[in-house]
Chains A and B, each alone.
Chain A
Amino acid sequence: MDLPVQILNSLNYILVLILVAMGLAIIFGLMRVINMAHGEFFLLGAYTVVLTDQAGLGFWLGLLLAPILVGGIGMVIEYICIRHLYRRFLDTILATWGLSIAIKQLIIIVFGPAGLMIKPPLPQMVSFMGIEYPSYRLFIMAVALVTIGLTFYIFLKTDFGLGARAVIDNRDMAAVLGINTRKMYRTTFTFGSALAGLAGAVMAPLMSCDPQMGLGFFIPAFLAILTGGTGTLAGVLVGGGAVGGADSLISFLYSPVVSQIVVFSMVIVVIRIRPQGLLGTKSGR
């Protein structure tokens, strides 16, 4: 594989990573909940596609269904579990960690522990600028770009986004102005879950779908947020770019082991020098 192809692959990985990290960051920023089950929302998205593929309904229906289904699951989880734990930071980590284990086991019970492949939805190659590139990977990038753009639009330009940012900034004051913070939490948790579900579904054809696949995106997404900072959505872009880019390029140039070492060291250095992250502004909150 030559470098231009690898750069496109990196970009591909970065964009999907940002999709996952954005959901995680929004949920953390708004509710101070570190959702340890976020990787499993990715997993559920991928298995939605596996399910529709196995049932003969095809990939595209699964792709459409995944964010809706996973968003719905997120909403239910928020209602029966998370909402009772707000302001109990450690408890939410334990609860969502437990949830992540439960979801993984549930997937093993239903689908078995083995990796499952699905039929490539767009098997053609496209050639441009002298290289051959899988058209499905271009499709992934388009989906991720549109979704990231839409998320930015929602959070920066709409009334809902203004309210959400107000809750992130000062929850009590937002409530005083008449904003229903709990409803805001539920909507946001649903939205964040749906983002992870979409990312899982769109990535499913490129990966072997197994019950551990969520972790492969959860950890780098987490590192991306630590690197970029949680105060702003732009921090997720920078963090996702840094972590995703370093990870995939160093894996290609050297080996995945070296890339893990480099990425973790990089994150440690960033946290040591700028605990609030590269773009983070609030250190105390």
Chain B
Amino acid sequence: MLKIENLHASYGGSLVLHGVNLSIQPGEIQALMGRNGMGKTTLMRTIMGLLSSRSGTITFDGQPIQNLRTHEIAAKGLGYVPQGREIFGDFTVWENLHLGTLKLPRNQRKVPEEVFDYFPILKERKNQKAGSFSGGQQQMLAIARALVTRPKMLLLDEPSEGIQPSIVDQISEILKKINAQTGLTILIVEQNVDMVLETATRCAFMEKGRIVETCSMEDIRKDESIITCHIAV
């Protein structure tokens, strides 16, 4: 689905990604873990074309995307939920969701009903200002907004950050449900071990701008020291 080969990219003038290799299969939920400052967010932003790569290739659905512009990458079917959620706080919930449909022709601009099946609270509060939401609700809105763009694959950057544990569990459940029902491929950057154990099928570890290890969740469940070895400070 997504294949990254020897990707180099810089952020703020210094090289952050030193040859990332990563491959994600269709329909899987792959986690990406690593300590702070290892380049996880830079990798996400480079995939989305928000940062430009220095060298290497990113192939999505068989086509190279590393030289496309962000809205073209979105049009290919990559949805992105950034770190910190970045919802439009001054806009209503409905406006936030509707923004995801603007790339479509005028007569197809409708928020898919399934989105509200996954996140019923958004339907109840669709006229509320998104900025008045709690962190967890904003995260749900950010995920829903990405789903509205009808992606083939979803990139999530630290969805559990700053959110109370019960909501994290709820979001994990919803992500698994969406994956099971629609086959949506998901790449999730996360520091929350429980969330990764709960949702992912495979996990890659990033250190100093490279992927240093990739293993299945069974391996990790057998030996949790794999995780601590890569993310413990």
- Flag if B71 contacts A163 (CB, 8 Å): no
- Is A170 interfacial (CB 8 A cutoff)? yes
- By a CB distance below 8 angstroms, the chain A residues around B106 are 159
Interface residues of A in 151-192 (CB under 8 A from B): 159, 162-163, 165-166, 169-170, 172-182
Measured CB to CB, the nearest residue on chain B to A231 is B90
Interface stretch among B1-9, B80-88, B114-122, B159-167? B80-88
- Cα(A177)–Cα(B98), bound, Å: 10
B115-158 CB contact bits vs A (8 Å, 1 = yes)? 00000000000000000000000000000010001000000000
- Flag if A159 contacts B109 (CB, 8 Å): yes
Q: Given A162-B98, A177-B102, A177-B149, A170–B88 Cβ distance below 8 Å?
A: yes
- Cα(A177)–Cα(B88), bound, Å: 12
* Residue from A162, A165, A166, A178 whose CB has the most chain B CB atoms within 10 Å: A178
- Flag if A159 contacts B102 (CB, 8 Å): yes
Interface residues of B in 73-117 (CB under 8 A from A): 74-75, 80, 82, 86, 88, 90-91, 95, 98-100, 102-103, 106, 109
- Flag if A175 contacts B103 (CB, 8 Å): no
| Closest-CB distance, B167 to chain A (whole angstroms) | 22
- By a CB distance below 8 angstroms, the chain A residues around B88 are 166, 169-170, 173
- By a CB distance below 8 angstroms, the chain A residues around B80 are 176
Q: Given A159-B109, A166-B88, A169-B90, A176–B82 Cβ distance below 8 Å?
A: yes
Q: Given A159-B102, A176-B82, A181–B90 Cβ distance below 8 Å?
A: no
Interface residues of A, count at CB 8 A:
18
Tell me if A's interface is mostly helix, strand, loop or mixed.
helix
| Closest-CB distance, B141 to chain A (whole angstroms) | 12
- Cα(A137)–Cα(B192), bound, Å: 66
Q: Given A159-B102, A166-B99, A176–B74 Cβ distance below 8 Å?
A: yes
| Closest-CB distance, A155 to chain B (whole angstroms) | 13
Tell me if B's interface is mostly helix, strand, loop or mixed.
loop
- Flag if A177 contacts B86 (CB, 8 Å): no
- Is B69 interfacial (CB 8 A cutoff)? yes
Measured CB to CB, the nearest residue on chain B to A281 is B90
| Closest-CB distance, A182 to chain B (whole angstroms) | 8
- Flag if A176 contacts B50 (CB, 8 Å): yes
- Is B70 interfacial (CB 8 A cutoff)? yes
Interface residues of A in 217-264 (CB under 8 A from B): none
- Is B48 interfacial (CB 8 A cutoff)? yes
- By a CB distance below 8 angstroms, the chain A residues around B149 are 177-178
Q: Given A162-B95, A166-B88, A170-B88, A178–B50 Cβ distance below 8 Å?
A: no
A48-78 CB contact bits vs B (8 Å, 1 = yes)? 0000000000000000000000000000000
Measured CB to CB, the nearest residue on chain A to B86 is A173
- Flag if A172 contacts B70 (CB, 8 Å): yes
- Cα(A178)–Cα(B146), bound, Å: 10
B44-81 CB contact bits vs A (8 Å, 1 = yes)? 00001110000000000000000001110011000010
Q: Point out the residue from B90, B91, B95, B100 that lies within 8 Å of A178, measured CB to CB.
A: B100
- Flag if A162 contacts B50 (CB, 8 Å): no
- Flag if B82 contacts A162 (CB, 8 Å): no
- Flag if B99 contacts A177 (CB, 8 Å): yes
Q: Point out the residue from B49, B90, B145 that lies within 8 Å of A177, measured CB to CB.
A: B145
| Closest-CB distance, B224 to chain A (whole angstroms) | 34
- By a CB distance below 8 angstroms, the chain A residues around B91 are 162, 165-166, 169
> Can you show 26 pairs from A to B with CB atoms below 8 A apart?
A159-B106, A159-B109, A162-B91, A162-B95, A162-B98, A162-B102, A166-B91, A169-B90, A169-B91, A170-B86, A170-B88, A172-B70, A172-B86, A175-B49, A175-B70, A175-B71, A175-B74, A176-B70, A176-B80, A177-B74, A177-B99, A178-B74, A178-B75, A179-B102, A181-B71, A182-B69
Chain B residues at the A interface, C-beta cutoff of 8 Å: 48-50, 69-71, 74-75, 80, 82, 86, 88, 90-91, 95, 98-100, 102-103, 106, 109, 145, 149
- 17 additional A-B residue pairs with CB within 8 Å, beyond A166-B91, A178-B102: A159-B98, A162-B91, A163-B99, A169-B88, A170-B86, A174-B99, A175-B50, A176-B48, A176-B70, A176-B80, A177-B74, A177-B149, A178-B74, A178-B75, A179-B71, A179-B103, A182-B69
Chain A residues at the B interface, C-beta cutoff of 8 Å: 159, 162-163, 165-166, 169-170, 172-182
